[in-house]
Amino acid sequence: MKIQDLLKKEVMIMDLKATSKEAAIDEMITKLVDTGVVTNFAIFKDGIMKREAQTSTGLGDGIAMPHSKNAAVKEATVLFAKSASGVDYEALDGQPTDLFFMIAAPDGANDTHLAALAELSKYLLKEGFADQLRQAKTPDDIIATFDSNSISQETVAPQTVQSTSKGSDYIVAVTACTTGIAHTYMAEEALKKKAAEMGVGIKVETNGASGVGNKLTSSDIARAKGVIIAADKAVEMDRFDGKPLVSRPVADGIKKSEDLINIILDNKAQTYHAKNQNDKQSGESDGKSGLGSAFYKHLMGGVSQMLPFVIGGGIMIAIAFLFDNILGVPKDQLSNLGSYHEIAALFKNIGGAAFAFMLPVLAGYIAYSIAEKPGLVAGFVAGSIASSGLAFGKVPFAEGGKATLALAGVPSGFLGALVGGFLAGGVILLLRKLLSGLPKSLEGIKSILLYPLLGVLITGFLMLLVNIPMAAINTALNTFLQGLSGSSAVLMGLLVGGMMAVDMGGPVNKAAYVFGTGTLAATVANGGSVVMAAVMAGGMVPPLAVFVATLLFKDKFNNEERQSGLTNIVMGLSFITEGAIPFGAADPARAIPSFIVGSALTGALVGLAGIKLMAPHGGIFVIALTSNPLLYILFILIGAVVSGVLFGLFRKIK
């Protein structure tokens, strides 16, 4: 899409009458309302004024670009207006403004305007272009001015410009504004243009409304001399740990691009130190991070977003069963347990609404982690299909009569959603490659049409195939877990309980926890999951073991460690395994094996007794949602005492 497609002659104002900023905004919005582009004056103005409250959109040099992405906008439009006398628009340079581009962007997924706005940025940065607009007399002259300065046929400067005058200087930058519409792309173009003039290599990442564009990789960051952040909102910073960095408002990226570049080149930028050292390598790794770590990263990207739905919904459903148990349910109505009494039914339905999002959110955000924003829709669809069990031969259709209308798919559950998330992300990455040859002017159409349509189409049909084996595997797994008893339950409990203590919040711990929550979905209606019970009990042991060790072996711990032991009581009871990490990290050879023994023992005892849990989190606060609260507490205490004594005995006196 070209900017001319958004510049509509019928909404242009060739002689703006207003002399103040708000009056000018009102006059332009009125024109948009009168022409049917904006449906509600007040709603759209509220969006415009909220943007102005961040920083003025008066860019200087007589140009202003007020903008809003707003529910009151029917279609993406750029209103052009010019004033003969100029308006006091509170511009960044303090001078009157006489050229206006009011950008009205529709709310939702329509990102076609972004490519055109990025193009507009290039026009406005061209020498003498603004003066040509000032000379124009009619709307036709405005369009002709854009046509005569068309850059569609020009060679676009590459993102990375080869240095010609300053050795091998290379800089990376990030641009972002609050709405991700105008300033983001203008700052990008200004920095690229100035770097080209100065002979400096540069790569600019845009954090725009359509997501992250031209994302910086870890290798880009590593070889850069420094980093420029031109942003009015938070951007991912930890990846720049140890690099010279200058951070300024996005307006400085537009108006002071040369100054920002020189700060890096003259070594005047301060070294940035990340607050979260663990995430400093969060830029793209160019595939060098290894398959295992990439899998874990994407999986956790989905799991972290899923857990609030599982925890909130799961506990609400569990409370429904608790109410019915307390109030009593006739034997002939046990099939309605959890929804027999009205109060229970209310809790169950609210919890069910939250719980129903579990699989779509898991798959959606796995795909998002892999392919960013375009992966979301395909991922959500994959998760929903996994939840419904739709598959070839299991899709009802009216033409086939009653026999086909009665068809019902078998949900593939957590495993199906997991596969679906990775599948959806992979499909979007493939589409990106296949569509990379499209002209830049069609960039917007990819986000609004091609990625959603083709992503859903391909992922959906693939899931109809994938669901067949995954549903069978999920059914077999659930049948096995439902029938856990005796030695099999003991072994399962021992395994997942021990895993919770291996790295206390790390990949092994998370793997066990994710497996436990996966079993909960299929078992909550039948009283809960033995696996989930073993997981939570095993995870509570290490912090409680720390307390036991510091209490019984005071001479082996200093005062600070003993105080920390007291805080671990609360963490342990709350199912926060990470409370034991400082002790495990300080003495891993003695602490971790001790913790594993106690956690594994507790998990095995829970499995042996067949104790079920209906909640995915909460520790002591959801103890009533276990099938045997007293015995459950006893097993946790046994594990904590065993681990605490072993840790204390093995610990050397300081």
Nearest residue to 240 via CA among 281, 206, 182: 281
Q: Quote the tokens at residue 136.
A: 């124009």
Separation CA 359–CA 346 (nearest Å): 22
| Cβ atoms within 10 Å, residue 587 | 15
Calculate the CA 262 to chain-centre distance: 34
Element (H, E) at 69: strand 67-70
Separation CA 433–CA 32 (nearest Å): 38
Q: Quote the tokens at residue 523.
A: 């078992």
Count Cα neighbours of 457 within 13 Å in the Cβ-side half-sphere: 7
Element (H, E) at 188: helix 182-198
Check if 177 is active-site. Answer: yes
State the catalytic residue, choosing from 177, 183, 298, 617: 177
| Cβ atoms within 10 Å, residue 654 | 8
Check if 67 is active-site. Answer: yes
Contacts of residue 31, defined as CB under 8 A and 6 or more positions apart, other chains included, come to 11, 13, 79, 81
Q: Quote the tokens at residue 34.
A: 């009168």
Name the phi and psi angles at 306, rounded to 5. Answer: -75, -35
Q: Please report, to the nearest 10 degrees, the dihedral formed by the alpha carbons of residues 298, 299, 305, 309 taken in order.
A: 160
Alpha helices in 234-287 (DSSP H): 250-255, 257-265
State the catalytic residue, choosing from 67, 113, 298, 617: 67
What is residue 482's three-state secondary structure?
A: helix
Contacts of residue 505, defined as CB under 8 A and 6 or more positions apart, other chains included, come to 577, 578, 581
Asked whether 59 and 255 are in contact (CB, 8 A), the reply is yes
Contacts of residue 319, defined as CB under 8 A and 6 or more positions apart, other chains included, come to 347, 351, 625
Separation CA 383–CA 359 (nearest Å): 5
Could you give the residue numbers annotated as active site?
67, 177
